[in-house]
A and B are shown apart, each in its own frame.
Chain A
């Protein structure tokens, strides 16, 4: 009970001292922000940092550039238009070429198209869904179409052909897709099928007879601002005219997507992945590596420093020589070589960082132990017959620990930056685990410089610097509190 109270008081006293350090508080706030970010990553962003591609145009600017630069405000954000939903709500129109032969009805937000009795015996019938929308931006680089449907049942002489058209403000009709492209002439077009076409697909551009550049189709469609009409046309074809056709078609979704040139908080990378998501998830790797490597390496420092300092003699000589050797070795090249050999998973990197990072700390702690080794209270313990280990754990360890706390905070940045450097060089790492260093590697390889994608280059490094800075600030404050030499 008394010990508990004493401990609580000591913590309160420590906190009172720590609060006074402005640097320490700033560092703590930054660190806590990153920790919360790492823990609540899935709540902060709905996407996956690696797997969710094509969320917007490749290398889309951040959304907010429009607020700063008027010209950027003319770039489109993501626009998603569900033609089916609009038509069902009455914002578009559904046209049937012969309303007595087929029937379109709404069921659970789907459109069910059915032949009526034996009335469908003509050569073909048409269903058209159309909606208008106002486009008020510069042309996008690409757009996409999603069609989802299912042919529930049909007679043998039945086939479907679908197509998608855009009517430009100047009245010209541009056909952007038809089912001949995707599947050829087939009656089984929509059976449980999800059709997803991007206007940048080279094969589509070839099919449409356009030059094969990413943006040719989008440029052809979006010539000016104004009212555009989107039309999805289903042709129901009777392969044996005169004979009856029965069919039931369910249409789940018809969607038109303009891939934004602006997206999210930090834009997208060269595969259309969200950079903000990568930043959020990347904090996990840096925190994990930074904290675990520094805790392990400082534990090693404490252990080795105490043994070298207290035991002395030949042991001290040997340990000091080893630490000299490690301090002379260029750490990064050594880690590159070893990680390239054994493969650099997170665990390996943590182990390597710990094994190469203990030397400077051990040297400090050794010097400290030497300075307290001959103090009267230690002598007294010896006289009373306390063993070496008892003295180390009961008397030396407690006075060494405060130094160790500061050392942990001060060695975390080294671990964080080294991990980033290794990831940047492409050494090791799990391909499904994004880290800030890896983001920078992708940025360099993915042409961030050539395309001027500053939103891809600046944030990861800034986060590395901020996180290391927070540890440095905390470490300095701890040092000021615990280190008698620096105490004012």
Chain B
């Protein structure tokens, strides 16, 4: 199986997953107890004729399979319905917020992946020393800390107590907002600093532990003994031989960090009033805004599936077995 076939297979699988997720999304919102449309109807005093009209207009009188087809067609046209809260199209609301979430999540995932490799290698090479045990226990503690609480603590100390970082929002609000692109980016990053730190720290905690274990696992294998016997320096052993062997599992673990950080972003964004999908979810829950929730869930799932596909592609590039085909390797 060559690289092309590998990519095709993964792409097919991703599309299948997106299809499954959209079906799940339909099932959750149509078949669950607690009729969401009843909420909307309950909000206003309606005569039976008006209810009938609403149900017809939204296609709720059609048989279920027809509703499902309609739903799928709408979904792939990017039509997620109208928000109960703002009465704007959900896709418009999502598009306003999605870039902020992607910026936050991707920065955190990239930074934490790089940092976990650096720190993991460092402490694995100093196994049993004081710095190893301090960093390792910090990692274990961080791994069991709720991200939103870390965010709240950072927010309290650095925004409300010492006034170093801004307390809310993605940019400075209009009257003083920066006009030229460069200071806009600086301002944006300035606002992102705290949520980014919280999210990165939490993913990093688990990452350090797993990289350390991977490195220690590799260090106990025969090729390391050979490398050492050849008289290679410990540094060369680590960064040439061991690194090549652990890079694949690290790429796989990046996929796990993506799912984790998307979950973490939900609460972190709420803490920092970051204008993204997480905060949107929070607002939609508070207002029982079902179309928005449905749209958010679908978009987040697609985001995660696409990110996983990218990780698979990177994996394929890095893994010689994929690149040159199973038979050649």
Contacts and interface: CB of A to CB of B under 8 A. Distances in A.
Interface stretch (B56-64, B178-186, B263-271): B263-271
B28 A458 contact: no
B144 A417 contact: yes
A443 B259 CA distance: 27
B327 interface: no
B285 A449 contact: no
A461 interface: yes
A458 B153 CA distance: 7
Given A328-B259, A425-B281, A440-B149, A340 B305 contact: no
A333 B29 contact: no
B224 interface: no
A427 to B, nearest CB: 6
Contacts of B33: 342
B117 interface: no
Given A330-B300, A333-B263, A342-B32, 9 more contacts: A330-B263, A338-B32, A426-B286, A449-B155, A449-B167, A458-B153, A464-B145, A464-B146, A472-B143
20 contacts: A329-B21, A329-B301, A330-B263, A331-B263, A333-B266, A333-B296, A338-B32, A342-B32, A421-B266, A421-B267, A424-B270, A425-B267, A425-B285, A426-B282, A426-B285, A427-B285, A461-B149, A465-B141, A465-B145, A469-B141
Contacts of B263: 330-333, 421
A327 B301 CA distance: 11
B239 interface: no
Contact of B266 (A336, A343, A426): A336
Interface residues of A, number: 44
Contacts of B34: 341-343
A413 interface: yes
Interface in B148-195: 148-150, 152-153, 155-156, 159-161, 167
B201 interface: no
Contact of B308 (A328, A333, A454, A461): A328
Contact of B301 (A330, A342, A417): A330
Nearest to B297: A337
A97 interface: no
B218 interface: no
A437 B266 CA distance: 14
B215 to A, nearest CB: 15
B188 to A, nearest CB: 22
Q: State which size class the interface on B falls in.
A: 35 or more
B281 A472 contact: no
Interface of A: 325, 327-334, 336-338, 340-343, 413, 417, 420-421, 424-427, 437, 440, 443-444, 448-450, 452, 454, 457-458, 460-461, 464-465, 468-469, 471-473
Contacts, number: 130
- Name the residue among B150, B155, B267, B281 with the largest chain A CB count within 10 angstroms: B267
Nearest to A462: B149
B288 interface: yes
Interface in B16-55: 17, 20-21, 28-29, 32-34, 36
A-B pairs with lowest CB-CB distance, top 5? A461-B149, A468-B144, A332-B263, A465-B145, A469-B144
Contact of B28 (A327, A330, A338, A420): A338
Contacts of B286: 426
Contacts of B285: 336, 340, 425-427
B140 interface: yes
- Name the residue among A331, A333, A421, A461 with the largest chain B CB count within 10 angstroms: A333
B32 A341 contact: yes
Contacts of B262: 330, 332-333
B304 interface: yes
A465 B149 contact: yes
B223 to A, nearest CB: 19
Contacts of B267: 332, 421, 424-425
Given A328-B17, A328-B308, A457 B301 contact: no
A457 B146 contact: no
A437 B270 CA distance: 14
Nearest to A472: B144
A457 B145 contact: no
Given A342-B32, A472-B143, A461 B297 contact: no
B294 interface: yes
Nearest to B148: A424
A332 B278 CA distance: 11
B208 interface: no
Interface in B243-287: 259, 262-263, 266-267, 270-271, 281-282, 285-286
B146 A461 contact: yes
A340 B21 CA distance: 18
A425 B270 contact: yes
A472 B145 CA distance: 11
B124 interface: no
A329 B297 CA distance: 10
Contacts of A469: 140-141, 144
Contacts of A440: 148-149, 152
A454 B159 CA distance: 13
B293 interface: yes
Contacts of B17: 325, 328
A30 to B, nearest CB: 11
A195 to B, nearest CB: 39
A444 B285 CA distance: 17
A478 to B, nearest CB: 15
B134 to A, nearest CB: 15
Contacts of B259: 327-328, 330-331
Contacts of B152: 440, 443-444, 449, 457, 461
- Name the residue among B148, B281, B297, B301 with the largest chain A CB count within 10 angstroms: B148
Nearest to B308: A328
Contacts of B293: 336-337, 340
A341 B26 CA distance: 13
Contacts of A448: 156
B160 A449 contact: yes
A97 to B, nearest CB: 56
B264 to A, nearest CB: 8
A341 B28 contact: yes
A267 to B, nearest CB: 15
